[in-house]
Amino acid sequence: MALSKDSVDIENILALNPKTAHHASLVSTSTTKINRRHWKRNEDKNCTSCETNLQNNFDDVKHTTLSERAALREAARCLKCADAPCQKSCPTQLDIKSFISSIATKNFYGAAKAILSDNPLGLTCGMVCPTSDLCVGGCNLYASEEGPINIGGLQQFATEMFKQMKIPQVRDPSLPPVEDLPESFHSKIALIGCGPASISCATFLARLGYTDVTIFEKENFIGGLSSSEIPQFRLPYDVVSFEVDLMKDLGVKVEVGKGLEKNGLTLESLRKDGYECVFLGIGLPQPKLIPIFEGLTIEKGFYTSKDFLPVVSKASKAGMCACKSSLPQLKGNVIVLGAGDTAFDCATSALRCGARRVFVVFRKGFTGIRAVPEEMELAKEEKCEFMPFLSPRKVILKGDRISALEMCRTEMLDDGSWFEDEEQVVRLKADFIISAFGSTLADDNVKAAMAPIKFNKWGQPDVNSETMQTDQEWVFCGGDLGGVAQTTVESVNDGKQAAWYMHKYLQSLHGIPIAAKPSLPKFYSPIDNVDVSIEVCGIKFENPFGLASAPPTTTSAMVRRGFEAGWGFALTKTFALDKDIITNVSPRIVRGTTSGHSYGPGQGAFLNIELISEKTAAYWCRSITELKADFPTKIVIASIMCSYNKEDWTVLTKMAVDSGADALELNLSCPHGMGEKGMGLACGQDTELVRNICRWVKAASSIPVFAKLTPNVTDITAIAKAAYEGGADGVTATNTVSGLMGLKTNAAAWPAVGKEQRTTYGGVSGNAIRPISLRAVSAIGNSIPGFPILATGGIDSAESGLQFLHAGASLLQVGSAIQNQDFTVIDDYLSGLQTVMYLQSIEEMCTWDGQSPPTESHQLGKPVAKLSSIIGKHLPNFGPYKAKRKELVAEHKAGIDLLAEDNKPTVQRPPNQPKKPIPSVQDMVGRALPMIGAYGELDNKQQAVALIDEEMCINCGKCYMTCNDSGYQAITFDPQTHLPHITDSCTGCTLCVSVCPIIDCIKMVSRETPYAPNRGVPLAVSSMA
């Protein structure tokens, strides 16, 4: 057989491999219809017999839920806009662009911190917020074809990641300890009802430093409406428990089984018990009913949402209460009345309680549905029927059971009012009716306990919507009871608002003035106490992140703003003597092409033909003096450049030293323009010139000197050694890589200058050069152990910064990442670095990769059942296989005990605590160097092979194709299931892992059999000898 032809076995494997088409495809429509059914992943809208059995199945069904892969992709899409409209549309004013920026850099704690700082119920709201009406409704990407960002899903993802870390909340460490606060902070504060408004209010009061905060809850469980009326498949109980645990971390107490009642807990009794301030957050506990339902009971088949949903929750939320409740036993036709979120929760819950068909009936049309689109879409997918323009008129009973509901048609008049046309009557058979017409406060016993506050015409407390105060200045109110909030997030904000004004009120009682502008403390945890300072060359840096000598330091005013944002150090833009002053061309800084056709922020590379600073040396020297006076703890490094002239270097060095600079960086590496003047690259590519320049500068300098190296050399370690031999205290590795970013179809380059459209080779920066920079840093680190390195080139996160620290760098310079965003990215970098350092001290998280937990098998971001353990084989998630999966899952769910011990949420407290010392930044420096060396040091006896998780596989065949046309033809691809399978021919090349779109769907595992390479032609006996 010819060596250049595939064997029969390989040809069989290649049967489904792409081939170049030489003619048009021809398949009959009837055949395509059959094929389409086989491969279909979404629901078949024409199928009336494929209704899913949802009984007892309370798994997550939210469309917004995201896996880590999906969250990273979605976060990368976000534009992180200026004066972001999404934030202005959020009731709690979440810094949305900040938390999404942190997700994009895999700093999930930083994202959660930003969320929880403004919304203590950030996970709850991520799951149930009507984001399409709030933040998402203001997203600027609505103006683009790809549509707005899934903000709710990202919020849920980040806070769930933090929840898995099991880290406690602490007070802001910069605030005075509670024991040092005035007596006013020990005032007794009561909050009635443990729902979202009270949890939020109590959290902010505790963050402020109040030490005697107690929540009284009528029920024997926490969470209020979040626990009792939002179904488990939308809001699991462990989410509520997690957020209450965070509140309790701050010392807030919760007493269950204590609610407002005339002869028990009252406002007056609380006053007598010494409570100086009270917050009312009991919601609206009674349902609104219309006369036709009078006398109807559960036994007759009638529920209100207030009857139905709490029973469903108690029977499906393990750990919520000690009761052993059962789900309502529904059957046949169920009619749900209403068009709000609660009505749709009732409808989808009814399907899980045994209803065969559910009809959602509402008075107005589809445009009048109050529920968020996500809720309505879910009910539609689960085959609920919608019946608009109908109003209930009469309940039909057969014996003592409901048998039907009679309704009449509603019409809207020209003036916008509605009337009921009794001539148009509809009768619908029903076994059960669930009324979800809203709620009210109708219990006179509870109202009496709220005396002496004043009630409005709607029977609710009269509340100032700004201060949340009632007519009794010591009594505050929020949530549904307050009359303004209609959603969970608005209730959270009511509690937040009330906390500030309760604080002002309590301090006024003690004569302590409070600033007019609110300043509520943010979320903090032990992570935020991690020290990220480092000492390099005798200089202490607050943190290892600094502004590179690049466009972000064009002016000293920009450096000032950088310091105010939190950067630990800054390089000036490179300046020279007046005789070497330059004038830039334009255009000169352009987006890269290394990330494909990507537009907007998040560019993988930039190319610039910008030269050094256009400002004079005098400007920069005066600026350095000003900056050091105003920011004495920040480090200012002067970046200077001269030609190969000892006198010039001596003069400029003394100017910079006299200005008060902490250190000098010698720019010996600018790859364009300056080299033609005998500067920059012209000096930095010659070891002798580098050695001499460093000697000249060190002779004139009393401060540390760092030589900035160019990557545009054969061996950067030789240049680094020359700097070392010349007395330099360290080096910066590296400057930009010389390149030509691209040519247009008409042969014009970009950037193109002037009418002649001329260009030159520029400096490529950003993530595209990170591998080059990492190689340079690690090579220098191994070549000159202990020699300080300032890394630059592709640092856009704490995660990438950590890579450079591990490779031997001590300090991290950032440029392109700021060009993509703004100076505030430093907040993300700091919390990201602190988190990784802290988590390394926790033994329970030893299997995590940074802030990423081990990936569980999932589809659509949700865990998937391990069918192989049930039926002994894997099934894909499309067509007939998907139907079979649903059938098997339904059978499994029907037999499980929802309240079983193993279904209870993971206990969150006690929290994870460090079991070993938290590493310092210095401890991180060079950790990877012993593992980086020559190829000959690698062991070819320890081989690995690929392993595919077929439950996670989405059947795209990317692994199969790359293995066929770029690898070793070691993956088969089933023509019916499209499940790939690794054969014994796998050589462990890892191409399949590299192109797989699903994180950890393919992993490399140790090879269990000896590896025998396929030599093609056997080795000759003589050569083997």
Residue 360 near residue 379 (C-beta atoms within 8 A): yes
Q: Which two tokens stand for residue 158?
A: 């980040």
- Side-chain half-sphere CA neighbours of 678 within 13 A: 7
Tokens 């520029």 appear where? 762
Q: Which two tokens stand for residue 931?
A: 């593992």
Active-site residue, selected from the candidate residues 670, 953, 989, 1001: 670
List CB contacts of 525: < 8 A, sequence separation 6 or more.
109, 113, 167, 168, 169, 170
Instruction: Give the Cα separation of 410 and 390 in Å (integer).
Output: 6
Residue 253 near residue 203 (C-beta atoms within 8 A): no
How would you classify the pairing of strands 534-536 and 539-541? antiparallel
List CB contacts of 291: < 8 A, sequence separation 6 or more.
none
Instruction: Give the Cα separation of 77 and 938 in Å (integer).
Output: 39
Largest pairwise CA distance in the chain: 109
Residue 792 near residue 732 (C-beta atoms within 8 A): yes
- Going by C-alpha positions, the residue among 272, 280, 347 that lies closest to residue 308 is 347
Q: Residue 195: phi, psi to the nearest 5?
A: -100, -170
Cis, peptide link before residue 975, omega less than 30° from 0: no
Instruction: Give the Cα separation of 778 and 934 in Å (integer).
Output: 12
Q: Bridge partners of 398?
A: 401
Residue 77 near residue 804 (C-beta atoms within 8 A): no
Instruction: Give the Cα separation of 601 and 819 in Å (integer).
Output: 8
Q: What DSSP state is assigned to residue 743?
A: B
Q: What single-letter amino acid sits at 781?
A: G
- Going by C-alpha positions, the residue among 725, 762, 715, 726 that lies closest to residue 742 is 762
Residue 780 near residue 722 (C-beta atoms within 8 A): no
- Going by C-alpha positions, the residue among 979, 982, 978 that lies closest to residue 992 is 982
Rg (the chain; Cα; Å): 33
Q: Residue 157: phi, psi to the nearest 5?
A: -60, -50
Is 670 in the active site?
yes
3-state secondary structure at position 180: helix
Q: Which two tokens stand for residue 940?
A: 């070819």
Which residues are known to be catalytic? 670
